[in-house]
Amino acid sequence: SQQGEEDPQALSIQEGENATMNCSYKTSINNLQWYRQNSGRGLVHLILIRSNEREKHSGRLRVTLDTSKKSSSLLITASRAADTASYFCATGGSNFGNEKLTFGTGTRLTIIP
């Protein structure tokens, strides 16, 4: 079963705009990760945030985590056509994210050139 849900299910924005996706989950976690999946390709790990962290940055990505609300958000700034993909949040059972992952339902992001 899915641990959580991403919101929105689908998002279309103009190239250069920022994209924000949200993830809600149900149970206590040790960490939360975001993955990207391009059409017909495997999942690519983007960023991991631990339960004792509130915000993390990686290039154009910014992730926040609110454990009291059991929610996370992924912000992609200055979007590019290559960012078109599905984005999934996943919760892991260990501090390092190396045990089984429980994924959300995903947000399909389309960047319009």
Give kind and range of the element (H or E) at residue 36: strand 31-37
Kindly identify the residues of this chain, within the stretch 22-41, that bind other proteins according to CB under 8 A: 33, 35, 41
Let me know: does 23 contact 101? Beta carbons within 8 Å: no
In angstroms, give the least distance from the CB of 16 to other proteins. Answer: 28
Q: Please select the residue that binds other proteins; options are 32, 74, 101, 111, rule is CB under 8 A.
A: 101
Report if residue 10 touches other proteins, rule: CB under 8 A.
no
Please report, as a single letter, which amino acid is at residue 79.
Answer: S
* CA atoms of 34 and 12, how far apart (whole Å): 19
Footprint of other proteins (CB under 8 A): 1-2, 33, 35, 41-45, 48, 88, 90, 96-106
